Amino acid sequence: MLNFSNVHMKFDKDVLSDINLNIDSGEFVSILGPSGCGKSTLLRLASNLTKPTKGVVDYISYKDLSIGFVFQNPTLMPWRTVLENVTLPLELNKKKSSKEEALMWLERVGLKDKEKSYPNELSGGQMMRVSIARSLINGCNLLLLDEPFAALDEITRRKLEDDLLEIWEKEKFTVLFVTHSVSEAIYLSQRVLVLSSGPGKIVYEKNINQYNSKEEFRGSKEFQNINSEIFEKLKSGVNNE
Amino acid sequence: MNKLSTYFSPIIALTIIFIIWEFLVNLFSIQLYILPAPTDIFLSLNDNLKELLLATLNTLKITLFAFLIATLIAIGLAIIFSLSKILEISLYPITVIFQVTPVVAIAPLIIIWVGLDNAEIAILILSVIVAFFPVLANTNLGFRSVDKNLKELFLINRASKWQTLTKLNLPYATPYILTGMKTSIGLALIGTVVAEFVAGTGSSAGLSWIIIESGNRLDIAKLFSALVLLVLSGIFLFLLMSTIEYSILRRWHQSVKENES
């Protein structure tokens, strides 16, 4: 559904170069790369917030495109309650703000009893859950995530990863997930892309076989092998600088 | 520090100062027209209570009115500036000119323009000029500080300019606006009092008029009681704004939350 062809992006210097990428509907794709390789720029291109210097970003055969964006910080509005934060996209799109729908999403991210709280009363993980609920409420079919779990502790992080996967398996929206954690990318996605830095280029692509049990997959030898394989590619991408 | 001592320490300190003051005035037999003792001031306050309270109400009325107008003008200007860069760079320097010009210097002009019979309007205008800038500067700063990602979120959801203003910029800037208003309300009082000094005549009998008049008649006790009411007015206005700020930010803002815990 999302297609990058020959995309170049230049600010002061080249940020992204020669990006060709096709993401199918319902696919879960992760982008791995070192800091400053243009991962965030790639997401901003995918969300149409910025236009590429050269090349085309387009959405194939999607009339009702609805993009959800999850930022690195939860980016909640502190003056609104949890519930009001989640209904924001509906308000902005002048849809009838449905409390039931918001409550349903809050329940699905595991925050049902927190609807009346304010963001400053929540933990980091809970805030991120609100942010995810907000990104999905508007019938999202393309979810873009910019290192959403980077600031969370390992246990919270794994819990959130599993919850995100569970929702994705039911809803089958398309996911583009940016991270700098190799194991997170492998664990979550069907396809992992490795970006080099200065300028960002796709240097490696790896399809991940799906296991029935994700937990089993994380402990498997295969997981370890893919991990070290991708880590090597990532490392050589940095050395290109 | 517990709450009780925060409230009572200043009161106790003031009481001690008053006792020493009273004692020294009596000890050195200082004349009433030089420095009255606190009890003399209190008696004068009691004798002239009606006149003094009317004057206080007059001054407070103009101050609050000027403060409200100044706030509306300042927020309005900040909104216009946030929508148009060219208007901002053209008009902002002009607002700075108003801010840095001493109000006493432009008072005669304003009085001539609105006519000597309309002293109250002249005072109001002068007070607005003194008071509007802090709200403008702070609102402006608030608008500029809006979280970059929240702006992107609004763009992704194709929010209109009106939605971005009412649902993002104004709420985000609210703590900044309130800070500006807290400075402004004090300035409005100062502006009103200074303008009254310049323009105040029989037609506008504010506290300044009483201060001038009792100064001329060497009724220093009455002058002091007018000063006392002026100070109380200032404290009242500040507390009023603090209460408004607290009730608006109570649920969500860090500055209030941290003070509570």
pLDDT band at residue B147 under the 50/70/90 scheme: very high
What is residue B167's DSSP assignment?
Answer: I
pLDDT band at residue A217 under the 50/70/90 scheme: confident
* Average confidence (pLDDT) over A208-219: 78
Residue A194, classed as helix, strand or coil, is strand
pLDDT band at residue B200 under the 50/70/90 scheme: low
For B118, list phi and psi in degrees, rounded to 5: -105, 50
Q: Say whether pLDDT at B158 is over 60.
A: yes
pLDDT band at residue B145 under the 50/70/90 scheme: very high
pLDDT tens digits, one per residue of A109-157: 988 889 899 999 999 999 999 999 999 998 888 999 999 998 899 899 9
Alpha helices in chain A (DSSP H): 39-46, 82-92, 99-108, 124-136, 154-171, 182-188, 214-219, 221-239
**Cα–Cα–Cα angle for A148, A150, A153, nearest 5°?**
115
Q: Does B256 touch chain A (CB under 8 A)?
A: no
For A54, list phi and psi in degrees, rounded to 5: -135, 160
We report the CATH number of the domain holding residue A205 as 3.40.50.300
Burial class of residue A35, CB neighbours in 10 A (0-12, 13-18, 19+): exposed
Contacts of B188 (CB under 8 A, 6+ apart): B63, B64, B66, B67, B70, B127, B128, B130, B131, B237
pLDDT of residue B52: 93
pLDDT of residue B186: 95
Query: What residues of B are in contact with residue A79 (Cβ under 8 Å)?
Result: 171-172, 174, 251-253
Give the distance from residue B183's alpha carbon to the nearest chain A alpha carbon, in angstroms: 23
pLDDT of residue B67: 97
B78: tokens are 């900040």
Q: What mean pLDDT is reported for chain A?
A: 88
Residue of A nearest to B254 (CA): A120
Total domain count, chain A: 1
Q: Percentages helix, strand, coil for chain B, rounded to the nearest 5?
A: 85, 0, 15
Contacts of A149 (CB under 8 A, 6+ apart): A128, A156, A157, A160, A161, A179, A184
**Rounded-to-integer distance, Cα B206 and Cα B50, Å:** 13
Burial class of residue B13, CB neighbours in 10 A (0-12, 13-18, 19+): exposed
Q: Say whether pLDDT at B193 is over 60.
A: yes
pLDDT of residue A173: 93
Which residue's entry shows tokens 């992080």? A157
Q: What percent of chain A has pLDDT over 90?
A: 44
pLDDT of residue B202: 57
What is residue B208's DSSP assignment?
Answer: H
Q: Say whether pLDDT at A198 is over 90.
A: no
Which residue's entry shows tokens 């001329």? B216
What is residue A14's DSSP assignment?
Answer: E
Interface test with A, best of B167, B176, B252, B257 (most A CBs within 10 A): B252
Query: What residues of A are in contact with residue B157 (Cβ under 8 Å)?
Result: 88-89, 92-93, 138
Which residue's entry shows tokens 């002061």? A12
B115: tokens are 């006519």
* Average confidence (pLDDT) over A44-57: 90
* Average confidence (pLDDT) over A18-27: 90
* Bond before A199 cis per omega within 30 degrees: yes
pLDDT tens digits, one per residue of A53-104: 998 898 876 677 889 999 999 999 999 999 999 999 999 988 777 888 899 9
Q: Say whether pLDDT at A205 is over 80.
A: yes
* Average confidence (pLDDT) over B241-257: 83
pLDDT of residue A231: 87
ipTM, two decimals: 0.91
Query: What CATH architecture is B36-260?
Result: Orthogonal Bundle (1.10)
Q: Say whether pLDDT at B261 is over 50.
A: no
pLDDT tens digits, one per residue of B42-61: 999 999 999 999 999 999 99
Q: Which of A28-32, A199-203, B245-249 has the lowest mean pLDDT?
A: A199-203
Q: Does B259 touch chain A (CB under 8 A)?
A: no
Q: Which helix (H) or strand (E) holds A205?
A: strand A202-207
Helix axes B170-199, B49-83, angle to 10 degrees: 140
Domain layout of chain B by residue ranges: 1-30, 36-260
pLDDT of residue B168: 96
* Average confidence (pLDDT) over A185-212: 85
pLDDT of residue A241: 45
pLDDT of residue A10: 86
**Cα–Cα–Cα angle for A72, A73, A76, nearest 5°?**
135
Residue type, A211: Y
Where in the sequence is the domain holding A84, given as residue range(s)? 2-239
pLDDT of residue B201: 63
Q: Does B254 touch chain A (CB under 8 A)?
A: yes
Give the distance from residue A75's alpha carbon to the nearest chain B alpha carbon, in angstroms: 6
pLDDT band at residue B233 under the 50/70/90 scheme: very high
Q: Does A138 touch chain B (CB under 8 A)?
A: yes
Q: What mean pLDDT is reported for chain B?
A: 91
**Rounded-to-integer distance, Cα A67 and Cα B129, Å:** 47
**Rounded-to-integer distance, Cα B220 and Cα B44, Å:** 9
Integer-rounded Cα radius of gyration of chain B: 23
Residue B242, classed as helix, strand or coil, is helix
Residue type, A70: V
pLDDT of residue B204: 55
**Rounded-to-integer distance, Cα A114 and Cα B177, Å:** 29
